[in-house]
Amino acid sequence: MTETKEIVSFVFGWLSILSWVVALYPQIRLNFLLRKAEALSPFFLLCWFLGDIFNATSCLVLDQLFVQKFLGIFWLSTDTILNISHFYFVCTKKKYTSAATHFRVLEIFVYVVIAGLVINNVVWAGFYYDSELSFNEAAYDICKKEAVIPKNTARYWIGTILAYATIPMFCFSRPTQIYKNWKRKSTEGLSTGLFIATSSGNINQLISMFVNSQKQKYLIEKTPYIIAAAIPAICDIIVLIQIQIYKGNQKYETLNDPVEAL
């Protein structure tokens, strides 16, 4: 029974990672197609960017698993692209060219294959790089590893502080976006796919943690991570509701697009 729970937790953990790997792409794609980026709150982008910087830096400072370091750098890279595209189109004020923004079936298939290959290779590269991991109890917890950095050193505390600093950054980012949507009474230019992916990532992460163990000590230890996943997940769902509410306020039309420009 315990082994089954660990496997289920492991699977949901990787489903969460898969969601995060593809999360920012829909918004980056939409920015380039619409040649505009006013929909995203600058504070949302800033908080998310700082969160990714803190996360990637903490993984490197604490010498975490290869997979964690790779994903931290990957997320920071995609976040950088999103920020550059956002501020470029805001500053240049490029106009919408009426290009179709819906995903074609072939395009979706190609992206799924690429994402699958990336995840597969990262997983196996991580297992190879961290040779102490094997298919046992320790291997199922992809985020858990005994610190190799002594706890009484400055390096350990710097890395730990940076890791915990990511929590308020990711939690505070969403309310600013919710407020901007409400103030504009529109979600024009906002990617539905971005918030579907992020809500999926957070919900799968929560499921992974709760399935892994329901013991009080474990849940207390994971409280910061539960909060860091639960609050953004709730906010992501609120944004998705706003997208549906303000759907009729679009100033442009997406050609043959049934889901408002995923």
Q: How far apart are CA 149 and CA 161, in angstroms?
A: 14
Q: How far apart are CA 257 and CA 226, in angstroms?
A: 35
Residue 257 placed within a domain: no
Residue 258 placed within a domain: no
Residue 255 placed within a domain: no
Q: How far apart are CA 64 and CA 146, in angstroms?
A: 9
> Which token pair is 119?
């995840």
Residue 139 placed within a domain: yes
Q: How far apart are CA 211 and CA 202, in angstroms?
A: 14
Residue 261 placed within a domain: no
Q: How many domains does the chain have?
A: 1
CA distance to 100, 144, 185, 222, 246, per residue, from 257 (Å): 8, 42, 21, 40, 16
Q: Which range marks the domain in which residue 207 is found?
A: 2-249
pTM of the full predicted structure?
0.73
Residue with tokens 């074609």: 104
> Which token pair is 148?
């190799």
Residue 212 placed within a domain: yes
Instruction: Note down pLDDT in tens along the chain; length 262 residues.
Output: 567 777 788 888 878 888 887 888 888 888 787 777 788 899 999 999 999 999 899 889 888 767 678 878 888 998 998 899 888 888 876 555 544 445 555 555 555 665 565 555 555 554 444 444 344 444 444 444 445 677 788 888 998 899 889 889 988 899 999 999 999 999 888 889 899 999 998 998 888 888 877 777 777 777 777 888 899 999 999 999 999 999 876 665 444 444 444 4
Residue 262 placed within a domain: no
Q: How far apart are CA 95 and CA 205, in angstroms?
A: 38
Within 13 Å and on the Cβ side, how many CA atoms surround 52? 23
> Which token pair is 69?
């370091």
CB 178 within 8 A of CB 66: no
- Classify residue 152 by its DSSP letter: T
Which residue from 182, 195, 209, 168 is spatially nearest to 13, judged by alpha carbons? Answer: 209
